[in-house]
Amino acid sequence: MKKSSLQLLVSITIIAFFAWVFMLSSSKPRILVLQSLSQQADWAVRIEQGMKVVLRSNRAPVTVLYHYMNLDEAGSDAQVKAAVQSALRSIQREKPDIIISVDDESNTLVTSQLDPDTRPAVLYLSTLQPPAHYGYSKNTRSTGIEESLPTTAISAMLNSIYPERKLQIAIIGVDDVTGQAELKRLKSTEWNAHEAGPAKLVSTFNEWRTFVSEEAKHADVLLVLSAEMLEGETKGVLIPERDVIQWTEKRAAPLPIGIRQSYVRYGGGLAVSSPAPVYGWLGMQMALDWIKNGLSDIPAPRSHVSEFNISMRMTALEKRGIKLPPVYRELARESGGLFP
């Protein structure tokens, strides 16, 4: 009898403990980070590095969940549609208080399509289109941080490499939501004495190679946007970003400059990029502040981030005879973007 009673007491205690843990977990505010890319994508990884810095010092109770749309691996419209449906199911299942929607793709395909009267609060992060493009405003419980392309830093670097020269700047990128927004921004940029063009967004690696080898061969500089999601010879089969970058660095006549750190990480020589960890840090801090205010006082949106990262691969720059002031090497070292 005593043994049976003891077993019953232990069972009740265990059940009560797990019920308490469940109630505690379910009562905490919930943040869902909706990434457009895959978990291993360089941009997504570095965005989350910044987020985790904030979370390590956070003492307020909060549950942070992550969902990856894997759009950098989607080779067909059917895969994109499946990614959207998976994201919608995740939102419905997790019932977050805030969705941090990262990049233009997740905002275009998912969060901007939700009913603003019934959906969770939305914090857009590193978007290139203005909030109104997605129908976001304070009246729709939306705020966030737009991405700033580091065009001023690129101009300053070009003046260091080619002092007192008028340059022709070609631009190549992938024809997707982000690429279209980036190209629009770059075309509207005042490049001072320099001239932007030719410029092109492509969908296949063959189109990419043709532009670099023929249309851009007389340019002085080649700005490289995203090199992800390029289709190869076989329909639906994507060429790895690393292969595209290494081919570009080797074959381009003009000096290639990436606008993502991954350009140098995967074999390129030079990049001036938006600092993903800074955006991650700012976005998560904004979300936590919003939660602390009971989701009532909406934080002010931010349209400009002045920080930028420099990335350099010294062997690639030496092959092209490119010399930069020592400060650039130190900036690259500080951001983890200096490669031998």
Q: Are residues 132 and 35 in the same domain?
A: yes
Q: Are residues 232 and 109 in the same domain?
A: no
Domain holding 198, by residue range, is 151-273+308-339
Q: What is the pLDDT of residue 171?
A: 98
Q: Are residues 255 and 287 in the same domain?
A: no
pLDDT tens, per residue, the chain with 340 residues: 555 665 666 556 566 555 444 444 457 999 999 999 999 999 999 999 999 999 999 999 999 999 999 999 988 899 999 999 999 999 999 999 999 999 999 999 999 999 999 999 999 999 999 999 999 988 899 999 999 999 999 999 999 999 989 999 999 999 999 999 999 999 999 898 899 999 999 999 999 999 999 999 999 999 999 998 899 988 888 999 999 999 999 999 999 999 999 999 999 999 999 999 999 999 999 999 999 989 988 999 999 999 999 999 999 999 999 999 999 999 999 999 999 9
Where would I find the H helices in 120-239?
A: 151-161, 177-187, 205-210
Give the angle subtended at the CA of 69 by the CAs of 128 and 291, to the nearest 5°: 70
Does some domain include residue 7?
A: no
Q: What is the pLDDT of residue 236?
A: 82
Q: Are residues 201 and 335 in the same domain?
A: yes
**Is the preceding omega at residue 198 within 30 degrees of 0, hence cis?**
yes
Q: What is the pLDDT of residue 5?
A: 60
Q: What is the pLDDT of residue 18?
A: 54
Q: What is the pLDDT of residue 23?
A: 44
Q: Are residues 56 and 179 in the same domain?
A: no
User: CA 193, CA 26: separation in Å to the nearest integer?
Assistant: 58
CA neighbor of 260 nearest in space, from 252, 159, 248: 248
Can you say whether the dihedral through the CA atoms of 32, 38, 39, 43 is positive or negative? negative
Question: Please, what is the angle between helix 42-57 and helix 276-292, to 10°?
Answer: 40
Does some domain include residue 330?
A: yes
Q: Are residues 316 and 235 in the same domain?
A: yes
Does some domain include residue 9?
A: no
Distances (CA, A) of 86 to 44, 99, 154, 286, 295: 18, 15, 38, 26, 26
Does some domain include residue 18?
A: no
Q: What is the pLDDT of residue 328?
A: 97
Q: Are residues 200 and 250 in the same domain?
A: yes
Q: What is the pLDDT of residue 11?
A: 59
Q: What is the pLDDT of residue 10?
A: 57
Does some domain include residue 24?
A: no
Q: What is the pLDDT of residue 15?
A: 63
Distances (CA, A) of 180 to 126, 168, 201: 15, 20, 8
Q: What is the pLDDT of residue 22?
A: 47
Q: Are residues 313 and 234 in the same domain?
A: yes
Does some domain include residue 138?
A: yes
Tell me the pLDDT tens digit for each residue of 69-79. 999 998 889 99
Q: Are residues 173 and 249 in the same domain?
A: yes
Q: What is the pLDDT of residue 7?
A: 65
Quick check: pTM over 0.85?
yes
Q: Are residues 197 and 66 in the same domain?
A: no
Report the number of distinct structural domains present in the chain. 2
Q: Are residues 70 and 190 in the same domain?
A: no
Does some domain include residue 74?
A: yes
Q: What CATH number does the domain containing 205 carry?
A: 3.40.50.2300
Does some domain include residue 241?
A: yes
Q: Are residues 55 and 122 in the same domain?
A: yes
Q: Return the DSSP state at 299.
A: P
